[in-house]
Amino acid sequence: MKTQICFLLTVAVVATVSSPLRPANAAPANAPVTAEGLRKGLVLDLTFDRDETGDNKVTDTSGQGNNGKASGVRWTAGAKRGGAYEFTADGDEIVVSNNASLNPKQVTMAAWIKTSTRDDKWRRIFDKSYSLGFALSVAADWQGNQWSGLACLEMGPGTHCSLTRTVVADGQWHQVVATFDGTEQVLFVDGKPQGWPLRWNRPGQAGPTDFNLVIGCNRSNLHEDDLGVSFRGLIAEPMMWNRALSIGEVAFLFESQK
């Protein structure tokens, strides 16, 4: 499925350590985190508070006007806070039209997901071209690597690949967050740092690409067999920032949404 080698990172789960891992450009670990401060740099906030499938519009509350267009998905109440969208078939997607605000040099992506699908397809949560821009997915096994069900962050060019240690495709709700500070990329599951990528001679980079930002479907692998493949399950609260959130901010976000 993939045309470029994605190396499995060697990671250390952050437990009790004297110097917590954090992105180079992140705020100090002891800096106070507030709800207002957390919205700094927010460029996408799809709360899924209500069913908008009638007019296919999904409202962005970030203030950037990055409204989405829903296709095939079904809104469901009683999920995370306001609701969630269910993805059940290939082609199900929420598309946010490309613009400058969605092509930052640093990026954080966050979403709540619930899925039990573990197969030979990479199921996109966010897609803006894994080989040129960035993508956050539920990974599949590939070339003998047992990655199925792990969350995966890929940054172009390359691809520069990071994976979680925790399986997120277990039928339970999980918050998945990915940060990239221009040099280093970190994944979080349920508010906790999961890993640290291999060091590259040449770091990955975020954007710009001409691709739309797509929630829940692969629309950028133009010459690969997983074009049009969709996530299977529920996605709620997809958010995106033009900066790398700190470890403290990610923990705050998790506690405020769980």
Taken in order 98, 104, 110, 115, the sign of the CA dihedral is positive
Higher pLDDT, 29 or 35: 35
Percentage of the chain beyond pLDDT 70 is 83
The pLDDT assigned to 29 comes to 54
Sketch the domain layout of the chain as residue ranges: 40-257
1 has pLDDT over 50: no
235 has pLDDT over 80: yes
Q: How far is CA 48 from CA 70, 72, 244, in A?
A: 11, 15, 23
What architecture (CATH level 2) is domain 40-257?
Answer: Sandwich (2.60)
Q: What is the average pLDDT across 163-190?
A: 94
7 has pLDDT over 70: no
173 has pLDDT over 80: yes
Banded pLDDT at 195 (limits 50, 70, 90): low
Q: CA-to-CA distance for 17 and 25, rounded, in angstroms?
A: 20
Q: How far is CA 257 from CA 85, 111, 125, 252, in A?
A: 16, 10, 18, 9
Banded pLDDT at 153 (limits 50, 70, 90): very high
14 has pLDDT over 60: no
52 has pLDDT over 60: yes
Bridge pairing between strands 74-76 and 134-138? unpaired
Q: What is the average pLDDT across 144-171?
A: 89
The pLDDT assigned to 202 comes to 61
